Protein backbone atom coordinates (compact mmCIF):
# COMPACT_ATOMS: atom_id res chain seq x y z
CA UNK A 1 0.00 0.00 0.00
CA UNK A 2 1.40 3.39 -0.90
CA UNK A 3 -1.65 5.52 -0.16
CA UNK A 4 -1.09 9.23 0.17
CA UNK A 5 -2.77 11.38 2.78
CA UNK A 6 -4.38 13.33 -0.07
CA UNK A 7 -5.78 10.29 -1.92
CA UNK A 8 -9.32 11.56 -1.26
CA UNK A 9 -8.55 14.73 -3.21
CA UNK A 10 -7.91 18.32 -2.09
CA UNK A 11 -9.84 21.54 -2.66
CA UNK A 12 -8.39 24.60 -4.35
CA UNK A 13 -9.88 27.64 -6.05
CA UNK A 14 -7.58 30.53 -6.86
CA UNK A 15 -8.96 33.89 -5.70
CA UNK A 16 -6.50 35.77 -7.96
CA UNK A 17 -5.17 37.58 -4.90
CA UNK A 18 -1.66 37.49 -6.37
CA UNK A 19 0.00 36.71 -3.04
CA UNK A 20 2.04 33.86 -4.54
CA UNK A 21 3.26 36.16 -7.33
CA UNK A 22 4.55 38.74 -4.90
CA UNK A 23 6.90 36.72 -2.75
CA UNK A 24 10.60 36.09 -3.12
CA UNK A 25 11.38 32.81 -4.86
CA UNK A 26 12.45 31.19 -8.07
CA UNK A 27 10.10 30.66 -11.00
CA UNK A 28 11.84 27.96 -12.97
CA UNK A 29 11.57 27.99 -16.74
CA UNK A 30 12.80 25.70 -19.49
CA UNK A 31 13.43 26.47 -23.13
CA UNK A 32 9.89 25.43 -24.13
CA UNK A 33 8.42 27.83 -21.58
CA UNK A 34 10.69 30.62 -22.79
CA UNK A 35 9.67 30.01 -26.40
CA UNK A 36 6.00 30.05 -25.50
CA UNK A 37 6.20 33.23 -23.42
CA UNK A 38 8.37 34.98 -26.01
CA UNK A 39 5.85 34.16 -28.72
CA UNK A 40 3.03 35.49 -26.51
CA UNK A 41 4.96 38.76 -26.03
CA UNK A 42 5.91 38.86 -29.71
CA UNK A 43 9.64 38.94 -29.08
CA UNK A 44 12.34 36.38 -29.81
CA UNK A 45 13.36 33.76 -27.23
CA UNK A 46 16.80 35.39 -27.12
CA UNK A 47 15.29 38.78 -26.34
CA UNK A 48 13.07 37.17 -23.72
CA UNK A 49 16.05 35.53 -22.02
CA UNK A 50 18.04 38.76 -22.00
CA UNK A 51 15.18 40.74 -20.49
CA UNK A 52 13.44 38.32 -18.14
CA UNK A 53 15.62 35.33 -17.29
CA UNK A 54 18.49 34.73 -14.89
CA UNK A 55 20.71 31.71 -14.44
CA UNK A 56 20.68 29.96 -11.09
CA UNK A 57 23.29 27.20 -11.06
CA UNK A 58 22.38 25.03 -14.04
CA UNK A 59 18.79 26.23 -14.12
CA UNK A 60 16.88 29.23 -15.42
CA UNK A 61 14.47 31.38 -13.45
CA UNK A 62 12.39 34.45 -14.25
CA UNK A 63 13.80 37.61 -12.75
CA UNK A 64 11.98 39.59 -10.07
CA UNK A 65 11.33 43.27 -9.60
CA UNK A 66 13.40 45.01 -6.90
CA UNK A 67 10.41 44.65 -4.54
CA UNK A 68 10.49 40.86 -5.14
CA UNK A 69 7.29 40.73 -7.17
CA UNK A 70 7.35 38.49 -10.22
CA UNK A 71 8.53 40.50 -13.21
CA UNK A 72 5.22 39.72 -14.93
CA UNK A 73 2.99 40.82 -12.05
CA UNK A 74 1.08 44.01 -12.84
CA UNK A 75 -2.07 43.88 -10.78
CA UNK A 76 -2.54 40.45 -12.35
CA UNK A 77 -0.38 38.04 -14.29
CA UNK A 78 0.47 39.60 -17.65
CA UNK A 79 1.47 36.27 -19.19
CA UNK A 80 -1.32 34.23 -17.60
CA UNK A 81 -2.22 31.98 -20.59
CA UNK A 82 1.41 30.95 -20.98
CA UNK A 83 2.63 31.17 -17.38
CA UNK A 84 5.27 28.56 -16.49
CA UNK A 85 4.24 25.06 -15.31
CA UNK A 86 5.29 25.95 -11.77
CA UNK A 87 2.60 28.65 -11.71
CA UNK A 88 0.02 26.51 -13.51
CA UNK A 89 0.35 23.68 -11.01
CA UNK A 90 0.53 25.62 -7.73
CA UNK A 91 -0.28 24.66 -4.98
CA UNK A 92 0.02 21.00 -6.01
CA UNK A 93 3.77 20.74 -5.64
CA UNK A 94 5.60 17.77 -4.09
CA UNK A 95 6.93 19.83 -1.22
CA UNK A 96 3.47 21.24 -0.41
CA UNK A 97 1.91 17.78 -0.32
CA UNK A 98 4.75 16.06 1.51
CA UNK A 99 2.72 16.13 4.74
CA UNK A 100 -0.54 17.50 6.13
CA UNK A 101 1.50 20.04 8.10
CA UNK A 102 3.16 21.33 4.91
CA UNK A 103 -0.25 21.60 3.24
CA UNK A 104 -1.59 23.41 6.29
CA UNK A 105 1.15 26.01 5.93
CA UNK A 106 0.12 26.55 2.30
CA UNK A 107 -3.54 26.87 3.36
CA UNK A 108 -2.54 29.55 5.85
CA UNK A 109 -0.69 31.56 3.19
CA UNK A 110 -2.89 31.01 0.13
CA UNK A 111 -6.59 31.88 0.49
CA UNK A 112 -7.49 29.59 -2.42
CA UNK A 113 -5.97 26.45 -0.93
CA UNK A 114 -8.15 24.19 1.16
CA UNK A 115 -11.34 25.61 -0.28
CA UNK A 116 -13.43 25.39 -3.46
CA UNK A 117 -13.29 22.76 -6.19
CA UNK A 118 -11.90 19.38 -5.21
CA UNK A 119 -9.02 18.03 -7.31
CA UNK A 120 -9.04 14.25 -7.44
CA UNK A 121 -6.05 12.04 -6.72
CA UNK A 122 -5.60 11.50 -10.48
CA UNK A 123 -5.75 15.24 -11.19
CA UNK A 124 -3.28 16.00 -8.41
CA UNK A 125 -0.92 13.32 -9.71
CA UNK A 126 -0.99 14.93 -13.15
CA UNK A 127 -0.25 18.36 -11.66
CA UNK A 128 2.60 16.86 -9.61
CA UNK A 129 4.10 15.69 -12.91
CA UNK A 130 4.08 19.34 -14.03
CA UNK A 131 1.22 18.76 -16.46
CA UNK A 132 -2.14 20.49 -16.74
CA UNK A 133 -3.22 23.48 -14.74
CA UNK A 134 -5.39 24.39 -11.78
CA UNK A 135 -8.21 26.00 -13.70
CA UNK A 136 -11.05 23.72 -12.66
CA UNK A 137 -14.39 25.47 -12.20
CA UNK A 138 -17.33 24.52 -9.98
Residues near ligand SF4 (CB under 6 A): 14-20, 90, 110-112
- The whole-angstrom separation of Cα 127 and Cα 119 is 10
Beta carbon nearer to ligand SF4, 15 or 131: 15
Q: C-beta of 47: minimal distance to ligand SF4 in Å?
A: 28
Q: C-beta of 44: minimal distance to ligand SF4 in Å?
A: 30
Residue 72: other Cβ atoms inside 10 A: 23
Beta carbon nearer to ligand SF4, 19 or 50: 19
Beta carbon nearer to ligand SF4, 14 or 38: 14
- The whole-angstrom separation of Cα 84 and Cα 52 is 13
Q: C-beta of 65: minimal distance to ligand SF4 in Å?
A: 17
Burial (0-12, 13-18, 19+ Cβ within 10 Å), 138 = exposed
Q: Which residue's CB atom is positioned nearest to ligand SF4? A: 112
- The whole-angstrom separation of Cα 120 and Cα 22 is 28
Amino acid sequence: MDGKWWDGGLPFQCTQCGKCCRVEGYVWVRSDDIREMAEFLEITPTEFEKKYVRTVGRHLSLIEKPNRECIFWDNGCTVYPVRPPQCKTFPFWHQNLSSIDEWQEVVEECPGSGTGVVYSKEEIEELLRGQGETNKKE
